[in-house]
A = this chain, B = another copy of it.
């Protein structure tokens, strides 16, 4: 493959938002998914572990859903950050999104031991609500399509 995500939005989340099991850089037991720009599309590359199987040799759908979920919130954060004039790594604190809804269509069984590539297109449907369409590939094979509706995290979320 050789492709990698250089500047990821998750690298810039403040520490208190960096614990997500899917994409928190401080959650040592989590998936530590990282999402960045590739032109006007967003990109996440993640290789599931051996244990993340549906059957031996095939990736578990819940891990595909997790990949799409965090790819979605990360993509929405990237897009609003860019709209605000920022790119990952420029020192500005990015916005943080939560998932309102998640949809996954499983297209074909996803082989294990191959880096999965989630490619996203982001659309603003409201200043605080963004839609991310994602395709997940294993090599050249399109294995799943997903849609995430992400909403800006309420300021009150941490203080509850």
Contacts and interface: CB of A to CB of B under 8 A. Distances in A.
Interface of A: 16-17, 19-22, 27, 29-30, 51-57, 60-63, 65-66, 69-70, 98-106, 109, 157-158, 160
Contact of A29 (B51, B55, B65): B51
A75 B115 CA distance: 31
Given A66-B65, A101-B106, A27 B51 contact: yes
B109 A99 contact: no
Contacts of A106: 98-102
Contacts of A99: 61, 106
Contacts of A63: 21, 62, 66
